[in-house]
Structure 1
Amino acid sequence: MDKNAYAMAKFGLESRDNLIPKRDCGFYMKYIFLFTSVIQFLIILGLVLFMMYGNTHASTETHLRHLEKRVQELYDKTTLLNAKNKNLTQQLNATTKEKLGCSQLVTATQKELEKCNASLRACTTYQTQCQNIWNYAGYNKMLADECFRSMNILNVTCYAEKLGLREARDRLGREVQQQRENCSQVTEKLRQEASAAQGERERCRQQSIDLRAQCSGLTQGQSQCCRLGERMTTELQATRQEIQAKAEALQPYEPGGCASLTQLVSSQLATLGAKLQQAVLPQAQENGQLRGEKLRCEANLQECRQHRAGDSQQYQRQLQALQAACDADAKRSYQEKQALTEEKGRLGQQLQERNKLLAQAEDTKAQLESCRKARSVLSQGTQA
C-alpha cells in the first residue's frame, strides 16, 4: 500500500498500543550507569592529580640534604688531616737531613779522636798538635751541645705533634662511633618503615579479599537479575494469555467490555511496571555502588604497590650508601691509626739514634778531658 502525506480517515475503534511509550527501563538504566561512570571517573581523576602533584617526599629530601652536608664536612676534615700529614712529612725530611749532618760531624769527631789518641802516644813531640786538637775538640763540643739543644727542641715538638695526632685520632674515633650510631638508628628506622610497609601490604591484601567478595556479590546480583528477567518474562506471558482469554470471552462489539479490558490491561501493566521498578532499582543501586568500590579498591591497591616498591628501593639505596660511608670512614680511621703508629715507631728510632750520638759525644768529651789531664801532667814533668 502506498504511503502519502495525507492523514487517512479511520473508522471504528483504534488500538491503543501506539499510545504506550516505546522506552523501557533499559533506556533509563543506560543513562543512570552513564552518569555514575562519569562521576567515578571524575573522582579517580582528582585522586590521580592529587597523587601526582602532592609533596610526599619533603622529609626524605631534607634528610638527604643533611647527609650531603655531613659528607662535605667529613671531606673537609680529611683534607685538613692530609695537609697536616704533608707538613709532618716535610718536617721529618728536614730532621733526616739534620741527622745526616750530625752523623757527618760525629764521623769527623771520631776521626779527630783517633788523631788525638795517636798524638797522645807521642805527646812530648806533638804538643802543638795536641793544642790544636784541643781547640778543635772544643769547637766540636760546642757543636754537640748545639745538636743536643736542637734535639731537645725537636723532641718537644714531636711530642706536641704526637699529642695533637693522638687527639685527632680520638676525635676521628668518636666521629666514626657517632656515624655508626647514626647508621644503626637509620637502619632501625628503615626496618620500622619496612614493617609498616608490610602492614600496608597486609591491609591491601585484606582489601583485595574484600574486593573479591564484592565481585562475587556482584556476580550473584547479576544472577538475580537474570532470574528477575525470567520471572518478568513468565509474568508477561501469563498476562498476555489472560488478555487473550478476556478478548476471546468478549462479544464482537461491546464498548463497555473494551473499556473494562483496557482498564484491566492498564492496571496489570502498571502493577507489573511497579514491581519491576521495585525489584530493579535496589539491584541497580547496589551494582553501581559495588562497581565504584571495586574501581576505588583497585586504584588504592595499585597505588599501595607502587609506593611500597618505590620506598623499598629508596630505603635499600640509602642503607647501602650509609653502610658504604661507614665502611669508608672505618677504613680511613684504621689507615690513619696505622700511619700514626708507624710515625711513632720511626720517631722512637730516631730518638734512640740521637741518644746513641749523645752517648758517643759524652765519650768523646771524656776522652778529651783525659787528654787535657795527660797534657797537663806532661807539661809539669817537662818543667820539673
Structure 2
Amino acid sequence: MITPGPGFLLGRKEPGGGSIKQGNINTPPAEEGVGEAPGRGGGRWTAGGPTPTLSPRSPGPGGLAASRGPAMDRSSSYSRTGLHISSSENRGCWYYLKYFFLFVSLIQFLIILGLVLFMVYGNAHAGTEAHLEVTEKRADTLSGRLLNLGALNTNLSKELNITTRSREAIMQLLVGSRRDLDRINASYRQCQVDVNQHENNMKFVVAIVKSEEACRQQLAEHLRNCTAQIQALEEKAKTAQAVQETLKMACNKDKESLMAAKGLVESQFKACSAEKMSNFGEYQLVVGELQRVRDMCAAVDKEKLVSKMEQVWRESLLYKSLDSIALLYYNPEVEKVVHRCRELPRVMLDKVESLARELKVGIEQVARENTELKRQKEAGEKSLAACKEEKDKVLKETQERLQKVHEDCVKQARLALEEKVALQKEKDALKKELEEKKKELALTKGQLDINTATLETCIRTKAQGSTLLPRPPVPAKPAPLDLEALEEFKRRLMNTYQKASQPSGNPASG
C-alpha cells in the first residue's frame, strides 16, 4: 500500500506533449487552451497555484488549434513554423465543438480519477505525519550509526597503520624466508632428480645385467643348437651319401638287367624278323598256290565236267566198241564188264568230286593257316613295339630317377652348407652383441659411480646446510674395467636390488 505524503503529486500526461507533468491533487483542472502547446511550447502549469503561466515560446490558443486543426493552411510560412495566428474566419462550428467535447471528456476523466484516489488513500494528512515521524526516527538512528562508524573508522585507521608497519616487517621476513625456501627447494629438487636418476640407473644396470645373462644363455643355447644341427646335418649327409650309393648300385643293377633285357629283346626281334621273312615267303607261296588252285577251280564246272566226260566217253573208242559189239552168246561176265564200263564215267565223276572236295578242304585249311600266320605276325609286331616302348620307358625312368637323386643330393649338400654359414653368421652376431653389451655395462657402471658420488655429495651438502657443489663432469671415455671386478659388481648390484625389491613390512627370516 502506498502511503500518501504531504507533497503527493499526480502525474499527468498532457495531450500531444509526450511528457508527464507534476500537479497537486487539490489543484482544479485547468482550462483547455492555456498551458504547454503540444509538441512545441515551453509553457507549463506551476505546481503551487492555479494561475497558469504562458511560456514566451507558447503560440497561444491559436497554436494548439493550428497544430490540431485539419483546416490549417500548410502552404504558408506561419503554418510550417507554428508562429502564425489563425484567423477566426477559417474556423467553423465543428472546430469549437470538437475542442469542447475534448475538454469535457478530460474534465470527466480527472473528476473520476480524483474520486478514485480519494477513495483509495483516504486521509492524506495523517499518513504524511506518520511517515514524517518514521523518517525522523530513521534519521536519528542513522546519525547515531554515523557517529559510531566515524569512531570505528578512526580506530581502524590507527590499527591499519600499525598493521601496515607489521606487514612490511613480515613481508621482509617472508621475502627472506622465500629466498631460503627457494634455495632449499632447489637443492631438494636437485637431490630428488639425482635420487630418481640413481634409481633409474639401478634399474638400467639390473636390466643390462639380466639381458647379458639372457644373451649368454641364448648364446649357449644357440651354440648347443648349432652343434646339434651340424651333427644332424652331417648324419643326414652321410645318410644321403649312403642312399646315393645304394641308388647308384640299384641303378647299375637295373641298367645291367635292362641291357640284358634289351639284348634278349633284340635277339627276339631278330628271330621274329627271320620268322617274319620265312612266314612271308611261305605266305607268298601259299598265296600263289591258292591263286593257282582258285584259277584252276574256277575253270572246273561239275555239269560241264560231267557233260564233257560223257561226251568224251561217247566219243571214245571203248564206248563205240561196246555199242557195236554184237553179243553172239550171252555171257554174264561179259555183261558185267560192259556194265562196269558203262558205269565207269559215273565212278570217275565221283572220284573227281571227291578230289574236288579234298582240294577245297585243303584250300580252306591253307587259308586258315594263312590267317593264323597273319594273326601271329601282327601279334609279333605288336609285342615287338610293346617291348621297344617298355625299353624306352624303363630307360627314361632310370635316367629321371638318377637325375632326381643327383639333384636331391646336390640340394641337400647346398642346404647343409647354407645352414652352416647362417649358423656361423648368427654365432658371430651374438658374439658381437655380447661385446657391445659388455661395453654398455662398463659405461653404465661408470655413470652409476658418478651418480652415486654426486648423490652422496648432495646429501652431505644438504645435511651441512651448505650450497650444492657442482657436479663432476662425465668422462667421455671411461677407463677399461677389470672383468673380475665387473662380475663382483654385478653380484653386489643384484643382491642390493633384491633387498630393495622386498617389502619393508615382511619380517626377516631367521
TM-score by length of 1: 0.47
TM-score by length of 2: 0.37
Return the index of the structure with the highest Cα Rg. Answer: 2
When you count helix as a share of all residues, which structure comes out higher? 1
* Relative contact order, higher structure (CA 8 A, sep 6+): 1
